[in-house]
Amino acid sequence: MIDKNSIIYIAGHNGMAGSAIWRTLTAKGYHNLVGASSKELDLRKQKAVRDFIRKTKPDVIIDAAAKVGGIQANNDFPFDFLMENMQIQNNLINEAHRLAVDKFIFLGSSCIYPKLAPQPLKEEYLLTAPLEPTNESYALAKISGVKLCEAIRRQYQKDFVSLMPTNLYGFNDNFDLKSSHVLPAMIRKFHEAKENNNAVVTLWGTGKPMREFLFVDDMAEAVVFALENELPDHLYNVGTGKDLTIKELASTVRKIVGHTGDILWDDTKPDGTPRKLMDVSKMHNMGWKHQTELEAGIYKTYSWFLENIENFKQKVY
């Protein structure tokens, strides 16, 4: 049984998702948390991962580690996104199995589902049609992680479970304009444009695709829920069950930031998947539901951005 004394290793604990999980577990009284930075432990190296798990002897591993990026990064570096993510998760899952770790929670992404799957996305839609080409490599890696956890669960009856969050945002997000996702990129672009006499902000695509966003601390609560309960299935969507257009998102971020200039939509850039709304009824039926609505979450995220703005050195107007 998992309790407050259990040793919990959070892979990727310095990232947005991992740090939220660490913060949430600490607040709930879990005090044997283990983490290692990428400089301390290269998760792509099997022996290093094996030695680390042997040394720390975790009861639980939460895999929040991944190479992540937006449309451009996924498009430009498909080999890196496929290979490095498979190396990271394969090492963690395999060594957790080999070294008899009691519980494993694997974090994936809504991009594992087919590009044109029916909406909202149900867990059973996995592998029923082609993926979105612009992030296919990342999606394939995550699908392989889901299938590994499912296989271990079926073959060895181990408590390995996969959680598929929708688009996450919040504290410790990535605001690098070359590799960030749409919401943090918008926060930074609108802020810097506001500081530059409310300059025009150029955004990718048509603004028509619809997206769902989950505040990262709500995702962390879902992880804790999975930690404290033995879920009967191997795969669960984690989201809000609500979405909006990218244009509506831009309008909301612009209002919160206080930018009063114009927006230019560059429709020569790809839109990506037309819609990615999660069916979260399985998690709702188990007892978890998100708490933070989008506008409140963006306010919190922008406040964090302002408090940490000195860390964002690259200025792009």
Which residues are known to be catalytic? 138
166 is in an annotated binding site: yes
Minimal CA–CA distance to 92: which of 105, 82, 83, 81? 105
168 is in an annotated binding site: yes
17 is in an annotated binding site: yes
51 is in an annotated binding site: no
167 is in an annotated binding site: yes
DSSP H or E segment with residue 160: strand 159-165
181 is in an annotated binding site: yes
* Cis ω for the linkage preceding 120 (within 30 of 0): yes
12 is in an annotated binding site: yes
Residues 26-46 as b or e (16 or more Cβ within 10 Å = b): eeeebebbbbbeeeebebbee
Residues 6+ apart with CB under 8 A from 285: none
Report how far residue 255's alpha carbon sits from residue 28's, in angstroms, rounded to the nearest whole number: 34
18 is in an annotated binding site: yes
279 is in an annotated binding site: no
| Beta-bridge mates of residue 311 | none
Report how far residue 7's alpha carbon sits from residue 5's, in angstroms, rounded to the nearest whole number: 6
162 is in an annotated binding site: no
115 is in an annotated binding site: no
CA distances from 33 to 6, 18, 179, 238 (A): 8, 11, 29, 23
14 is in an annotated binding site: yes
Q: What DSSP letter does each residue of 233-287 carry, written as one string? A: SSEEEES-S--EEHHHHHHHHHHHHT--S-EEEETTS----SEE-B--HHHHHHT
288 is in an annotated binding site: no
Phi/psi zone of residue 93: left (φ > 0), alpha (ψ -120 to 50 degrees), beta?
alpha
96 is in an annotated binding site: no
Task: Give the Cα-Cα-Cα angle 165, 132, 168 (nearest 5 degrees).
Answer: 25
204 is in an annotated binding site: yes
The binding site comprises 12-18, 107-110, 142, 165-168, 181, 189, 204, 211, 271
The binding site for NADP(+) comprises 12-18, 107-110, 142, 165-168, 181
The binding site for substrate comprises 189, 204, 211, 271
